[in-house]
Amino acid sequence: SASAFNMQALGSHCDDADPKEQLVCGGWFESWQPHPQAHTRSIAVAHGAVITGGSDGRVKRRWFSPSSDKDGGGGTAPPTTPTTPTTAPPRLHFDKERELEEFLPAHQGPVVALTPRHEGLLVSASTDGTLRVWDVLPSESGLVAKCLYGYGGYKVWIGSVATDGTRLVSDGSDNSVIVHDFSRDPPEGGGLKQL
């Protein structure tokens, strides 16, 4: 599982008046404003964190921290009827000990898609015509994500990206679908196949 949490719902909300992300889990939520000068364009939950892509080209990560009963995370949920209280799901909140992390280098256009892979990889896609493959697992040297390699040269905006763990498939607004060999190591000769 990409996340160790039993999430009943995960939602994202962003508007001009209050551009904060709202993470929702079984009725409990926490707000976060990942892109104060921009709008959130994409979101993914992977490896114990929420990762966002902004209209400013930046990819940011905030780690989750499950609450324990000691810090008010468990307990009784609001009753579904006036006489039937239920056990609350664990409250999901952000880890206050870990700093907000920004992935570098930033894209030059809005980040419109984020796709995690279970081996600790994440793909970001931007309207600047690039895909980036990130190693997002914590390393011995720290928690900073590392850009392993990227694909560029798309003629027009990338709309979405998906992977089955072997192939990386992206689309563009020119009605093309492009399939890449998807592995941890950079591809030999580009690995580009256009259909």
Q: How confident is the model at residue 194 (pLDDT cuts 50, 70, 90)?
A: very low
* Helix, strand, coil % over all residues of the chain, rounded to 5: 5, 45, 50
Coil, helix or strand for 185? coil
CA 19 – CA 110 distance, rounded (Å): 16
Residue, of 191 and 9, whose pLDDT is higher:
191
Q: Is the pLDDT of residue 177 over 50?
A: yes
123 vs 195, more confident: 123
Angle (nearest 5°) at CA 42 between 175 and 148: 85
For residue 33, what pLDDT is reported? Answer: 79
Q: What domains sit in the chain, N to C, each tagged with a CATH number?
A: 21-194 (2.130.10.10)
DSSP conformation letters of 82-141: TT--EEPPPPEEE-SSSPPEEESSPPSS-EEEEEEETTTEEEEEETTS-EEEEE-S-BTT
159 vs 162, which has greater pLDDT?
162
- The predicted-structure confidence for 63-117, as pLDDT tens digits, reads as follows 887 553 344 444 334 444 555 555 555 556 778 777 788 999 999 999 999 999 8
- Does 33 or 189 have the greater pLDDT score? 33
Q: Dump pLDDT digits (tens) for 39-60.
A: 889 999 888 889 999 999 999 9
- Return the pLDDT at 57: 95
